């Protein structure tokens, strides 16, 4: 099995990440929207690479001393290979180094795999946002990880 390499997202990754968005989300980010994130000082988008191929990505915005996870996605053929865990670990390390106190996110109520992953890393379930998602409409579960506990 090839090693997972976590690197900052670059323009060359964007077509593959846009394809991943199309495969994973009912309201995917466009190539243009992803490219714009490269110029946002508060954004940190990381790409997971396996054998030279984009395996997944994770986007985070830093807001004050809090980090907000925008998206996490892994191509189906790379799932169950610790790609999401590697991305999450890399972001957690960078957040700690940057002096962040919290990482927060929302996840679809039905996404049991993602919820299990976040809980494994110590994220606390804080509540539910009713009808947060569209296409299909669904509640979001709110999670936060407090880094200085």
Q: What is the pLDDT of residues 28-46, one digit of tens each?
A: 999 999 999 999 999 999 9
Averaged pLDDT score across all residues of the chain: 94
Query: Any idea what the CATH number is for the domain that residue 121 is in?
Result: 3.40.630.30
Sequence-distant (≥ 6) Cβ neighbours of residue 141 within 8 angstroms: 106, 107, 108, 109, 115, 125, 127, 128, 129
Phi, psi of 136 (to 5 degrees): -90, 160
Identify the three-state secondary structure at position 37.
Answer: helix
- On whether the pTM is more than 0.85, the answer is yes
Cα gap 102→64, rounded to integer Å: 10
61-80 average pLDDT score:
94
The tokens describing 48, both together, are 């997971």
Percentage of the residues of the chain whose pLDDT score is greater than 90: 89
Beta strands (DSSP E) in 28-90 are: 43-50, 53-63, 66-74
How far is residue 3's CA from residue 83's CA, in Å, rounded to a whole number? Answer: 10
Model confidence band, residue 73 (pLDDT cutoffs 50, 70, 90): very high
pLDDT of residue 1: 55
Number of compact structural domains in the chain:
1
Alpha helices, DSSP H only, in the chain?
A: 14-24, 31-37, 83-97, 112-120
Q: Does the structure show a pLDDT above 80 at 148? A: no
Domain that holds residue 30: 4-146
Residue-level pLDDT at 70: 94
Q: Which two tokens stand for residue 67?
A: 């980090």
pLDDT confidence bin for 2, thresholds 50/70/90 = confident
């Amino acid at each position: 099995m090839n090693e997972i390499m976590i690197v900052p997202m670059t323009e060359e990754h964007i077509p593959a990440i846009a394809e991943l968005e199309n495969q994973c989300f009912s309201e995917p980010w466009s190539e243009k929207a992803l490219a714009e994130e490269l110029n946002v000082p508060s954004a940190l988008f990381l790409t997971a690479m396996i054998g030279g191929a984009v395996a997944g990505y994770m986007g985070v915005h830093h807001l004050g001393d809090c980090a907000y996870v925008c998206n996490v996605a892994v191509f189906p053929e790379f799932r169950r290979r610790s790609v999401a865990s590697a991305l999450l670990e890399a972001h957690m390390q960078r957040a700690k180094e940057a002096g962040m106190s919290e990482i927060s996110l929302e996840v679809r109520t039905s996404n049991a795999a993602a919820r299990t992953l976040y809980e494994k890393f110590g994220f606390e379930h804080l509540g539910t946002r009713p009808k947060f998602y569209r296409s299909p409409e669904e509640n979001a579960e709110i999670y936060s990880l407090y880094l200085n506990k």
